[in-house]
Every structure is written in C-alpha cells, then in structure tokens.
Amino acid sequence: MQLRYSFRLYPNGPQRSALARAFGCARVVYNDALRARETARAGGEAFPKTGDLSKLLITEAKRTEERAWLCEVSAVVLQQSLRDLDTAYRNFFDGLKGKRPRMGAPRFKSRKDNRQAVRFTANARWKITRGGGLSLPRIGDVRVKWSRLLPSIPSTVTVIKDASGRYFASFVVETDPVALPETDAVVGIDLGLTHFAILSDGTKIESPRFLRRAEKKLKKAQQNLSRKAKGSANRAKARIKVARAHARTADARREFHHQLSTKLIRDNQAVAVEDLAVKGLARTRLAKSVHDAGWSAFVAMLEYKAALYGRTFHRIGRFQPTSQVCCVCGAKDGPKPLNIREWTCGECGAVLDRDINAAVNVAKAAGLAVPACGAQVRPGLVPAQREESGTHRDGQTTVAGIPSR
C-alpha cells in the first residue's frame, strides 16, 4: 500500500526565493494550459493533448521574451504541472460519471492561494544528501527535519508551502503491511461531540475541542488583521499570524487523531465505526463543533491503519438504529431526542447509557461479539410476568406461579 510521509523543510533566503519562482512558473504553465483547453471547449474543438501543450507552453514559450523566465526553474516542475491539470480533469469527469465523488471543474490558480506546491520526479535528479539535506535542482540543498525513517526509497518528492509560510517535503512510498500480534479484543465506536469517542467496553474519551479552546486567540488575531490596511506589510504579517494560529489548532487535532487511532488499532483485532453524514451535520447549528471534532479524518486514519497492521475495519451504514435498539434484549422503541442520555428498556427493564448502548450496537451490527453489559448503567427492576404476579393473603404460603420453600 502507498503511504504519504511529510517532513518539515527549512529553506534559507535564496532557497525561498528559488522556491517562489518554481511555484510561480508552475502556476503560470497550469493556468495557460487550462485557458487553452477552455478556449478549445468554448469553440467546440477537441481538447489539446498534453504533448502539444508541453511543446507550445514550455518548449516554445521559453524562446519568447514574455516567458523567458521559465528557464530559471527545472523543466520537470513544469511538466508535472501539466500532469496535475490532467488529473484534475480526470477526477472531474469521473465524478460526473459516478465513478468517484463529484468534484468541481479545474479552476485557475492564484499566487494568493493558501497552498503552493511543486513536484520533482526522478528525472529531476533530486536526492537526499549524506548530511540529511534534500538536494533540489535549481534550488540547492534544503535542510530537513527528519522525524522518522522512510520505509522505502521514494521516486517523487512534492515541496509544499502552506498558508502559514511553512515548507514541507512530501513523499509517497510503497509500504508492506506489518501485522501486529493477534488479540481477542474487538471494539465498537460511537462518535459524538460531548465525548469524542465512546467505546463498546464503556470507555468514554473526552472531546479536546481544540477550536473552541483556541477561539479567543483566533478572535484576537483576526481582529488585529481586520484593522490593518489592505496591501500593507503589516497586514501581510497579521495574516501570517492568523494562519499560524489555525495551523497550531489543526496540528493539535491531527496529533490527537493519530494517537487515539493508533491505540485503538493496536489494542483491538477488529474495529467497527458508524458511517456518519458529516456534510449534513455540518449544515446544522452544530456545524462548528462537527468540524472541530474532525470525524472523517479520524475514521480515515482508522481505516488505513487497520489495513497497514493487519486489523479488521468495519464501517456500518448510517441508517442503523443504534440509538433506538436495546443492546441487551434487542427491543426497538423508536427515536429519542438528543437531551435523553439515559433510557430504560420497556421490555427487559435495563437502564442504558445512550452512547455506550449505541457503541455496543455498532459492534453488533458489524458482526462483532461484544458483551452488552457495558451499556447498562445500573440493573433496572424487571417487571414480573402476568402469570407470576399475585397478592399475599393471611396464612398463604404460596404465591401463584412461585413454589413455596
């Protein structure tokens, strides 16, 4: 399977200028190719092929005065920009055909976009130096902070600059699955807002609420940005501060997701989770809390880590009535409002915790054998059957249906 590894880059001043030129040249070639194809489409003509665009927009453009500066960057970066446009069109048309989720049509890139990226393939002859640097053509040896070893030798590296001005080197490498020791433990997970995750064994994991905790700092940084004059240097500095504040929040959330997903995969042989309608929930009054939780990213981590470490991952349908069914006896008594956190089963009398009961039902819907005792808050009073009920009379030693002792 393929995994992506990202490492922080620390380019110096000249290297940052060279990377800025590479970002700009790749963006110009991408926009020129997009404009040529849209012009052909509007005129009812066939789409220009990538080879023709490469000859026209790169090879011949370098000989003109208007595009002579394209010679200042590696040609591989420009070629990969055209391939990125091909991928964008392919994803767009596949979405229209139903082969993948729908995506918007390719759009023109701007130098003000939050993310800038260029890609170097093996043809660019980039390499990792003996000193641990990343040698890039026309840029030089860039310092890298290696946090782990790469499992295999990569053939491509993507250099990314995010909105906060940080640089990253991204490698996509082939990785062989590494099976962890087998265990008998299985778990069902119910995701929520008050508690981020509720496990079928009764464990409740509090939601860190990273965005909520950082709201005051984010608000102050945004207010400082709004007071700066547009186009000024101070506004550019304030924008960087806002972006860095958001980046710290996103990094903390991602780290939490990684630690929790790794622990769940290591401790359990099988993991079951409900397929939530995140887009629908993000259109409600709970939108900020839903985005702050980051359920989709967490579930994606569980899925790929299960495949990597030889675990079983189950995703049950979102229409499973996990909160309506008693996990003890299986009785279904209909939907309940969100303010009801505990309920008593009308059939067996068990007093159930709503979230733990849902987690147990998630595991059972996936075919996992989990005990239902974790969902029971306390044993309820079991109503007697009609044939076992009766009243005591004076001197009576036997109640109907219950033998005397």
152 is written with which tokens?
Answer: 């295999």
Q: What H or E segment, with its residue span, contains residue 290?
A: helix 287-293
pLDDT (tens digit, 9 = 90+) per residue, 258-292? 999 999 999 999 999 988 888 888 888 889 999 99
Judge whether 72 counts as a catalytic residue: no
- Strand extents, DSSP E, 223-362: 270-274, 312-316, 342-344, 351-353
Q: Pick the catalytic residue from 32, 84, 201, 274.
A: 274
Answer yes or no: is pLDDT of 344 > 50.
yes
Task: Identify the residue with better confidence: 374 or 218.
Answer: 218
C-alpha to C-alpha distance for 187 and 199, rounded to whole angstroms: 6
Judge whether 355 counts as a catalytic residue: yes
Return all residues near 260 (Cβ < 8 A) that are at least 6 apart. Answer: 196, 197, 205, 298
C-beta separation of 50 from 36 below 8 A: no
Burial class (CB in 10 A: 0-12, 13-18, 19+), 258: middle
| CB burial readout 11-44, b (16+ within 10 A) else e | beeebbebbebbbbbbbbbbbbbbebbeeeeeee
Q: Average per-residue pLDDT in the chain?
A: 88
Residues facing residue 271 across a β-bridge: 187, 313
The predicted pLDDT at position 373 comes to: 57
Answer yes or no: is pLDDT of 144 > 90.
yes
Answer yes or no: is pLDDT of 404 > 60.
no
pLDDT (tens digit, 9 = 90+) per residue, 376-395? 555 444 444 444 444 444 44
The predicted pLDDT at position 283 comes to: 87
The predicted pLDDT at position 374 comes to: 53
Instruction: Give the three-class secondary structure for 5.
Output: strand
Judge whether 333 counts as a catalytic residue: no
State the virtual CA torsion across 61, 67, 70, 71 in degrees, nearest 10: 80
Answer yes or no: is pLDDT of 156 > 90.
yes
Burial class (CB in 10 A: 0-12, 13-18, 19+), 219: exposed
pLDDT (tens digit, 9 = 90+) per residue, 99-124? 998 889 999 999 999 899 999 999 99
Answer yes or no: is pLDDT of 364 > 70.
yes
C-alpha to C-alpha distance for 398 and 405, rounded to whole angstroms: 9
Q: What is the sign of the dihedral through the CA atoms of 244, 248, 253 and 257?
A: positive
C-beta separation of 388 from 401 below 8 A: yes
pLDDT (tens digit, 9 = 90+) per residue, 301-332? 999 999 999 999 999 888 888 888 888 887 88
The predicted pLDDT at position 372 comes to: 63
C-alpha to C-alpha distance for 72 and 395, rounded to whole angstroms: 108
State the virtual CA torsion across 36, 37, 38, 43 in degrees, nearest 10: 90
C-alpha to C-alpha distance for 40 and 46, rounded to whole angstroms: 6
Question: What is the DSSP code string of 30-77?
Answer: HHHHHHHHHHHHHTTPPPPPHHHHHIIIIITGGGSSTTGGGGGS-HHH
Burial class (CB in 10 A: 0-12, 13-18, 19+), 374: buried
Q: What H or E segment, with its residue span, contains residue 140?
A: strand 140-145
Q: Pick the catalytic residue from 190, 292, 303, 353.
A: 190
The predicted pLDDT at position 387 comes to: 43
Neighbours of 375 (CB within 10 A): 25
C-beta separation of 171 from 2 below 8 A: no
Question: Which residue has tokens 């010679």?
Answer: 71
pLDDT band at 299 (very low <50, low <70, confident <90, very high): very high
The predicted pLDDT at position 395 comes to: 44
Answer yes or no: is pLDDT of 41 > 50.
yes
Q: Pick the catalytic residue from 32, 84, 303, 355.
A: 355
